[in-house]
Amino acid sequence: MARVGATVDKLELRATAASQPEPTRAAAMSSVVSYESLVHAVSGAVGSVTAMTVFFPLDTARLRLQVDEKRKSKTTPAVLLEIIKEEGLLAPYRGWFPVISSLCCSNFVYFYTFNSLKTLWVKGQHSSTGKDLVLGVVAGVVNVLLTTPLWVVNTRLKLQGAKFRNEDIVPTNYKGIIDAFHQIIRDEGALALWNGTFPSLLLVFNPAIQFMFYEGFKRKLLKKQTQLTSLDAFVMGAVAKAVATTLTYPLQTVQSILRFGRHRLNPENRTLGSLKNVLYLLRERVRRFGLMGLYKGLEAKLLQTVLTAALMFLVYEKLTAATFRVMGLKHSRAH
């Protein structure tokens, strides 16, 4: 009986120990699932939606220049005037809702992942440029894998009804987001929703570079002053995005073409988004338009993305600070 009692006691002790959370595991989970990370995610999503809504016509012009290779107009104002003249006054805002929905989800995922991992890794210490770059890449990979289907659908909806000069483009007829998902899966298979994933994974360096520069600028400024001004956030966001966009623009062009997925190109290879297709599209672009063809639409992209990023970071910083202030919480994010 004594032996049985001892065995029972051991089992009870093991059960009690197993039921108690490990301190390190609990701390890690609290870092990942935290109110602070949620505030950053919501602020980032709201900031991106606000900025994209303001500068949406510029994104429309950029996308037309990237996808419609035979369009003669080369500048952003000329393309916008052409679109309004041929397709109506509201045409520059075509596809606004699916883009905003995708952007909101995408930035929520990115900001939440970035700030959760940063809290977990930095643990109250000062961050570094290298850490910011690694965190940006990881957050970007998570974001791409989760949200690419939304971007494929919104790219097609945004270009639906457009008057193209390129006869290689096959027109679409979707009634909305749900119908677009249904038709793509039915006609092209579920994997078509991840068209452009490969260049998108390569492009995780875009937001990673952007955040690396932004966080670096921010750390330097906060050594000299207690908080960021609106101008600080706007300028830092603009410069960081300009550098990131210029470095990665050729891949962004390929990404847009693959997401659109309506070109009659490379018919022997249906696995869109593979390295073979990326290289094929880059070679075709250079063959048709020269090296500068890789940067067609860069002016529109820089104008749109720099202003959008600048306004996004401005709204993000102000909304985050205001939320922490209203809730009476200290902003503990390491700089």
Using CA atoms, how far apart are residues 254 and 248, in angstroms rounded to an integer?
11
Q: How many other β-carbons are positioned within 10 Å of the β-carbon of residue 241? A: 25
- pLDDT surpasses 90 at 316: yes
Tens-place pLDDT, residues 169-182? 677 778 888 998 99
288, two tokens: 């048709």
The full DSSP string for 207-226 is HHHHHHHHHHHHHHHHTTSS
Q: At a CB cut-off of 8 Å and minimum separation 6, what does 221 contact? A: 228, 232, 236
pLDDT at 169: 67
Is the Cβ–Cβ distance between 76 and 300 less than 8 Å? Answer: yes
pTM: 0.71
Q: pLDDT tens across 218-249, in order?
A: 999 988 888 889 999 999 999 999 999 988 88
Q: How far apart are CA 261 and CA 130, in angstroms?
A: 36
